[in-house]
RNA sequence: GGAGGGAUCGCAUAGUUGGUCUAGUGCGGCCGCCUGCUAAGCGGUUACGGGGCCUUAAAGCUCCGUCAUGGGUUCGAAUCCCAUUCCCUCCGCCA
């Protein structure tokens, strides 16, 4: 969230940023409640100071004067009344603050939606085929390495099974990516819980605004994670870190669960948009002064995966309207899918500055004895495994219907070519 | 699921017959003195959040809150009562 003080002191900046995100957060209502809150606090704190003083006096007296005690009892009632009002205003204010999106970085191009995003760069040669390249669901179906129909039978639309070398390929991708990030890019591998508390979802910004997108276990009030960002960022919730440990870099693979509310009709076939998918996620905690450098490195670590797989890709910068709720800046690497003749988002790398840190209360001490400050948090997929699998199938498909295994994955898969599975 | 124990200012602890607790002490951290250097010693300092005053700002001053969380009793709660959460031990069940 934004700091209340910042909103109070820069209301116009906030209004502008919120508008550029296409959001309608009630900034003026927040300012009004903030005023009311401070007036109430001044009043109730003065009363409390008097009560503290008189109570101490009473404590020192041998004879307790009943009229003084009666007066204090009245004062106590008044304090209780005011406290109740402060609590109410606090709760209202907090509820509203959680609905205010993070402000875009000033350098981010202003725009309405994904049509205003900027293509930053293109990498790799688009493959050419002497046959008509197929979409990955057809390739997978013909090879018998995925089973979409039975996914629907067992779990419903947007679920699928992997079989044989399909399942092994997915496992190989996960394993190889984690090795790359932990051994070469310097991330600490973690394995995280798939179910998290409401506070964790609020910490990273999924709640309260986007509850309908999440799977929720009502009896325990736990949420299935939509991304490893949630458990891994919340690792350091309510902590004060030593400056020396920053930047902290984590790599974590998890399944991710998304209801895809509002996506009806989009990407209904294949592995692109499903309710459950595997993703390797990178999460960083940095000092504020270095977070944009770290974002560049994070983006490059994600793109490195695509380069090593020799999958053509481009990098797209999100405009203000497509940044999402929590990010100040976001880049999406998109992989080329020849079977569909289009680029598809395969990663998303964001800086949240102190937005999540403030919600989750993640701080660091810049120097011994110095006051704690909020860290900056960043994350990015590297990569979405299901979409990587789809990209491999489409880019490495061969005329005879088989799929070559990318060089780097061969030791993990154990074969050079994927042929049919029965 | 059952029984019991616990949660105090970075760490370890004192404090539970309610009022000099604005929470003591040790360790650690920081600053300084001392020292050829290190250690030791000596002195000082040492949380977080919020409001106000004063400031360009920082610093400073002041008030309020926080002894797991939320309620309650009371003129006054770390201390008494209730609920909740988390942790630990034992039993049961379980991959």
What's the pLDDT tens digit per position in A333-362?
999 999 999 999 999 999 999 999 999 888
Least Cα distance to A357 among A114, A1, A6 occurs for: A1
* H or E stretch at A395: helix A385-395
What's the pLDDT tens digit per position in A405-419?
999 999 999 999 999
pLDDT reported for residue A267: 87
What's the pLDDT tens digit per position in A243-265?
888 899 999 999 999 999 888 88
Q: What is the signed CA dihedral for A398, A408, A388, A115, rounded to 10 degrees?
A: -100
Q: Please name the residues in contact with A51: beta carbons below 8 A apart, sequence gap of 6 or more.
A: A72, A75, A76, A79
Cβ-contact A79, A48 below 8 angstroms? yes
Band of residue A222 on the pLDDT scale cut at 50, 70, 90? confident
Percent share of chain A, pLDDT over 90: 70
Instruction: Estimate the crossing angle of helix A11-20 against helix A27-60, to 10 degrees.
Output: 130
**Catalytic one among A198, A345, A365, A419?**
A345
Looking at the predicted structure, is the pLDDT value of residue A312 above 70? yes
Query: Which of A308 and A223 is assigned the larger pLDDT?
Result: A308
- Least confident window among A134-138, A151-155, A206-210: A206-210
Q: How far is CA A313 from the centre of its chain?
A: 22
pLDDT reported for residue A422: 66
Phi, psi of A120 (to 5 degrees): -90, -45
Centre a 10 Å sphere on the Cβ of residue A261 and count the other Cβ atoms it contains. Answer: 11
CATH match of A114-418 with 1.10.760.10: no
Domain ranges in chain A are 4-97, 114-418
Active site residue A387: yes
**Catalytic one among A85, A273, A308, A410?**
A273
**Catalytic one among A291, A347, A387, A394?**
A387
CA distance linking residue A295 with residue A377, whole number of Å: 10
- Least confident window among A198-202, A262-266, A281-285, A301-305: A262-266
Which nucleotide's C1' sits nearest to the alpha carbon of A5?
B50
Q: Using a CB cutoff of 8 Å and minimum separation of 24, what contacts does A299-302 make?
A: A299/A331, A299/A333, A299/A349, A299/A380, A301/A181, A301/A185, A301/A187, A301/A380, A301/A382, A302/A333, A302/A347, A302/A349, A302/A380, A302/A381, A302/A382, A302/A383
- Least confident window among A20-34, A126-140, A255-269, A291-305: A255-269
pLDDT reported for residue A133: 97
What's the pLDDT tens digit per position in A7-52?
999 999 999 999 999 999 999 999 999 999 999 998 998 998 899 8
The CATH code of the domain at A4-97 is 1.10.287.40
β-strand partners of A16: none
pLDDT reported for residue A371: 79
CA distance linking residue A290 with residue A286, whole number of Å: 7
Strand A239-242's sheet: what is its strand order? A239-242, A362-365, A373-374
Question: Exposed/middle/buried for A155, CB within 10 Å: 0-12, 13-18, 19+?
Answer: middle
Our measurement of CA A273 to C1' B7, in angstroms, reads 46
Looking at the predicted structure, is the pLDDT value of residue A56 above 90? no
What's the pLDDT tens digit per position in A359-373?
988 888 887 777 788
pTM of the model: 0.92
Q: Please name the residues in contact with A193: beta carbons below 8 A apart, sequence gap of 6 or more.
A: A225, A231
Active site residue A345: yes
DSSP letters, A211-246, are GGGS-EEGGGTEEE-SSTHHHHHGGGTTEEEEGGGP
* CB burial string A333-366: b at 16+ within 10 A, e below: bbbbbbbbeebbebbbbbbbbbbbbbbbebbbeb
CA terminus-to-terminus distance, chain A: 52
Q: Please name the residues in contact with A385: beta carbons below 8 A apart, sequence gap of 6 or more.
A: A170, A173, A174, A177, A253, A277, A278, A279, A280
Centre a 10 Å sphere on the Cβ of residue A35 and count the other Cβ atoms it contains. Answer: 12
Please report residues contacting nucleic strand B, using a CB cutoff of 7 A.
A 4-5, 38, 41-42, 45-46, 48-49, 51-56, 58-60, 64, 69, 72-73, 76, 80, 87, 240, 368-369, 371-372
pLDDT reported for residue A88: 87
- The average confidence (pLDDT) of chain A is 92
pLDDT reported for residue A62: 74
Our measurement of CA A192 to C1' B42, in angstroms, reads 50
ipTM: 0.81
Least Cα distance to A354 among A266, A275, A288 occurs for: A288
Percent share of chain A, pLDDT over 70: 100
Looking at the predicted structure, is the pLDDT value of residue A198 above 90? no
Query: Which of A392 and A76 is assigned the larger pLDDT?
Result: A392
Active site residue A38: no
Q: What does the pLDDT average to over A222-226?
A: 90
């Amino acid at each position: 969230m934004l700091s209340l003080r910042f909103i109070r002191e820069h209301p116009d900046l906030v209004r502008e940023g919120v508008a550029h995100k296409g959001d309608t957060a009630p900034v003026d209502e927040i300012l009004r409640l903030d005023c009311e809150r401070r007036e109430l606090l001044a009043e109730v704190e003065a009363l409390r100071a008097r009560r503290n003083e008189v109570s101490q006096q009473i404590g020192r007296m041998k004879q307790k004067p009943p009229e003084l005690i009666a007066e204090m009892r009245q004062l106590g009632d008044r304090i209780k009344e005011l406290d109740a009002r402060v609590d109410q205003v606090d709760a209202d204010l907090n509820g509203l603050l959680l609905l205010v999106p993070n402000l875009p970085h000033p350098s981010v191009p202003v725009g309405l939606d994904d049509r205003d995003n900027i293509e930053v760069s293109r990498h790799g040669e688009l493959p050419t085929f002497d046959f008509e390249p197929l979409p990955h669901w057809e390739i997978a179906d013909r090879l018998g390495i995925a089973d979409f129909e039975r996914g629907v039978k067992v779990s419903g639309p947007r679920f699928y099974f992997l079989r044989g070398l399909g399942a092994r390929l997915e496992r190989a991708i996960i394993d190889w990516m984690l090795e790359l990030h932990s051994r070469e890019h310097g991330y600490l591998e973690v394995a995280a819980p798939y179910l998290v508390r409401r506070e964790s979802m609020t910490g990273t910004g999924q709640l309260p605004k986007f509850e309908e997108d999440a799977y929720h276990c009502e009896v325990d009030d736990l949420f299935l994670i939509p991304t490893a960002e949630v458990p891994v960022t919340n690792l350091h919730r309510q902590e004060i870190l030593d400056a020396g440990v920053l930047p902290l870099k984590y790599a974590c693979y998890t399944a991710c669960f998304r209801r895809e509310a509002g996506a009806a009709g989009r990407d209904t076939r294949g592995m692109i948009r499903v309710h459950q998918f595997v993703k390797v996620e990178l999460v960083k905690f940095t000092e504020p002064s270095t977070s944009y450098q770290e974002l560049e490195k994070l983006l490059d670590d994600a793109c490195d995966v695509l380069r090593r797989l020799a999958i053509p890709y481009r990098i797209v910068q999100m405009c203000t309207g497509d940044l999402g709720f929590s990010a100040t800046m976001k880049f999406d690497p998109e992989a080329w899918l020849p079977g569909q003749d289009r680029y598809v988002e395969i990663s998303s790398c964001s800086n949240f500055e102190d937005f999540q840190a403030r919600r989750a209360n993640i701080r660091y001490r810049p120097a011994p004895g110095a006051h704690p400050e909020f860290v900056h948090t960043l994350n990015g997929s590297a990569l979405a495994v299901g979409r990587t699998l789809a990209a491999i199938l489409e880019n490495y498909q061969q005329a005879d219907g088989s799929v070559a295994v990318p060089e780097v994955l061969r030791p993990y898969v154990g074969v050079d070519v994927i042929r049919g599975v029965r």
